[in-house]
Each structure stands twice: as structure tokens, then as C-alpha cells.
């Protein structure tokens, strides 16, 4: 299986592929040509430091998985990042936009992946699935159908997360206001063109005085 890993960046490096079948592309400029040549089975789109990928450049028909852990609240052409792919990951680690002390979440509109994830987060068992689940699995306390982990959120994490969600828009607005105080050039200013991104300011990677800098949160 070959996975093309995409990172938005001000620079444009050549694609490479190693023995593990992972093809890394920095930016989207060369994505279509590389995808036609390598024919990846999936694209892992990493929205890095608040910068959305150029999703219009993605080849049609290739499944997309999104790592949106550093870009909660970012938009591309008015659509939230993390909702373009089959699944999107979002972090609630303490250094990110909202915090539940630890952990994160996965969003998907595919019921099969949803049910698989419900099992995977809880030891691989079926006890949290609906009786008419998409996997056709018998629901029982100790019916294990998948290799699993113990990554269920605690009630305390959920309570903190719900309160943090109420503040998310304000957090994002403050980050953007902080970023506006620095005279750095953004990814799109360096690469050129306007793709309608909605930067939401994680650490604000940019170019300042011809050097790559990371603006403190």
C-alpha cells in the first residue's frame, strides 16, 4: 500500500518514496503529477501549523485521511478542515486549541469506520456498538472482534472538553489577532495565489526577514 503524505509548506521539494511505501510531498504543487506516477492508495493530508492543504489540487478518486491536529478551526474555501477526507483527526492535547488534558478525537461520516473506531478505542469489543451495527457484529460485553486499545475518554475529560468547546471561537480569534501583530509572510504569500484559506494560528509558521520562524502561541 502506498500512501502519499502531504504537508503544506512555503517550499517545494521533490517527491520521494521509501521502502515502506510512503511518498512524502511538501506542498500540493507536484501532487497531481506524483499521484499519477505512483498511484497511491490513499493521501494523508497534514494541515500543518494552521495552514490548510490546497485540496483543489488533490487527484480525484484517491481516499483522503486528514491530520488536522494543529488546525482546528481552519477553513478551506469556507469548509472546515478535517471534513474533507474519509476521516479527520483532531487533538485536544494541552498545547493545542482546546484541552481535555490529553487525547483527541476522530470525525467521520462513514458508519463502518465509526463502528470500527468505537471497537478499536475499547479493547476491540462490541459492547458500545448498536445492535444493528454496520459490522454485523454480535453486541456483547466480551465479544472481541478487532485488536483494540484502551483510549476511551474519561468523564472528567469530557466535562472539560465541553466547556473548552464553548471558548473555541474566542481562542481562535485571539490566536489570529496575535499572529496579525507579526510582519511575517504566510505560506500563500510565499507560494503565490489565493486559495481562500482560513488560517487559525497554531504557532504561525511563516517567513520573517527571509528566515523560517515559529511564532509563539
> In residues, how long is the chain?
217
Query: Residue 111 belongs to what H/E stretch?
Result: helix 111-120
Task: Please say whether the beta carbons of 81 and 71 come within 8 A.
Answer: yes
Beta strand pairing call for 79-80 and 75-76: antiparallel
> What distances in angstroms separate CA 215 from CA 45, 175, 208, one per listed residue?
23, 10, 10
SS3 63: coil
Name the grid cell of 71.
Answer: 488546525
The catalytically annotated residue of 96, 97, 199, 202 is 96
Angle at the Cα of 65 from the Cα atoms of 190 and 82, rounded to 5 degrees? 65
Q: Would residue 202 show up in a list of annotated catalytic residues for this protein?
A: no
Q: How many CA atoms, within 13 angstroms, populate the side-chain half-sphere of residue 96?
A: 24
The span from the CA of 36 to the CA of 34, in Å, is 5
> Grid coordinates representing 183?
510582519
End-to-end Cα, the chain, rounded Å: 37
Residues belonging to the active site:
96
Amino acid at each position: 500500500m502506498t500512501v502519499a503524505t502531504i504537508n503544506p509548506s512555503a517550499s517545494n521539494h521533490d517527491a520521494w518514496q521509501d521502502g515502506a511505501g510512503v511518498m512524502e510531498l511538501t506542498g500540493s504543487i507536484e501532487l497531481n503529477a506524483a499521484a499519477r506516477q505512483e498511484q497511491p492508495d490513499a493521501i494523508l493530508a497534514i494541515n500543518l501549523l494552521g495552514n490548510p492543504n490546497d485540496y483543489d489540487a488533490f487527484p480525484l478518486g484517491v481516499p483522503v485521511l486528514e491530520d488536522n491536529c494543529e488546525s482546528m478551526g481552519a477553513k478551506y474555501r469556507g469548509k472546515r478542515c478535517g471534513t474533507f477526507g474519509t476521516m479527520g483527526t483532531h487533538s485536544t492535547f494541552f498545547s493545542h486549541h482546546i484541552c481535555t488534558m490529553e487525547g483527541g478525537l476522530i470525525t467521520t461520516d462513514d458508519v463502518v469506520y465509526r463502528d470500527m473506531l468505537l471497537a478499536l478505542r475499547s479493547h476491540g469489543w462490541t459492547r458500545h456498538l448498536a445492535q444493528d451495527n454496520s459490522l454485523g457484529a454480535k453486541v456483547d460485553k466480551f465479544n472481541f472482534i478487532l485488536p483494540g486499545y484502551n483510549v476511551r475518554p474519561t468523564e472528567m475529560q469530557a466535562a472539560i472538553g465541553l466547556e473548552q468547546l464553548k471558548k473555541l471561537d474566542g481562542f481562535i480569534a485571539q490566536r489570529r489577532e496575535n499572529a496579525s501583530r507579526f510582519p511575517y509572510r504566510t505560506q500563500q504569500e510565499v507560494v503565490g495565489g489565493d486559495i481562500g484559506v482560513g488560517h487559525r494560528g497554531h504557532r504561525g509558521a511563516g517567513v520573517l526577514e527571509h528566515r523560517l520562524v515559529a511564532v509563539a502561541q
